[in-house]
Amino acid sequence: MKQQITWQEAWRDYTRNFFKPKAPISYEMYKAHSRLVRPLGVVLTIIWFIIIYQIGKYPEGFWNRAEKTQDHFEIVQSFKRGLVFILISSAIILPTLPTELRMFTKRGKSGLPYMLTFIFFVVGGITFSFITFYLNMKGDMLFGVLMMLVLIFMNNQSYVDNVRKTGADQNEQ
């Protein structure tokens, strides 16, 4: 029988154990934490779309300017898009980090690769954006998207869903 966890219990557990990656966690609490931070992710995604839409607008008379001026403007826009993507996507992932680390501890796995990937995602993405800007390149967000996908595939979501579906935990034998 699955226990029902209220929003208040999930919030209390989330805030009390935010800086305690070794604190115990149940699979139901992991799902409750996911539901708890999901609205923040949705709001940040909407903000990201609005900012990207505003960055992507060309000023009036853009096509009447010199080609060099157009290229510089597009390079600056590309730099801004890259930074916004990295910062907002890291702000979406950051609230889930303590819960993921707690689940890695419950599974008996090290959370270090996940943390290093997150750090590499943020630092590498910002560095990539600055390098493309200083080299006058129109950088794309491929680096950031790839690192984001790696973080998504490294999280514990599919493991917890499988355990909840089958009821068999490999670590509790």
95-153 tens-digit pLDDT? 999 999 999 999 999 999 999 999 999 999 899 899 989 998 887 777 778 888 888 88
pLDDT band for position 169 (50/70/90)? low
CA distance 53 to 138: 17
Contact 129, 79 (CB under 8 A): yes
1 pLDDT tier (thresholds 50, 70, 90): very low
Q: Residue 72 and residue 98: Cα distance in Å, rounded?
A: 41
Could you give the CA distance from residue 156 to residue 148 in angstroms, rounded to a whole number? 15
Rounded to the nearest angstrom, the gap between the alpha carbon of residue 91 and the centroid of all alpha carbons in its chain is 6
Average model confidence (pLDDT) across the chain = 88
d(C-alpha 55, C-alpha 11), whole Å: 35
pLDDT value of residue 173: 44
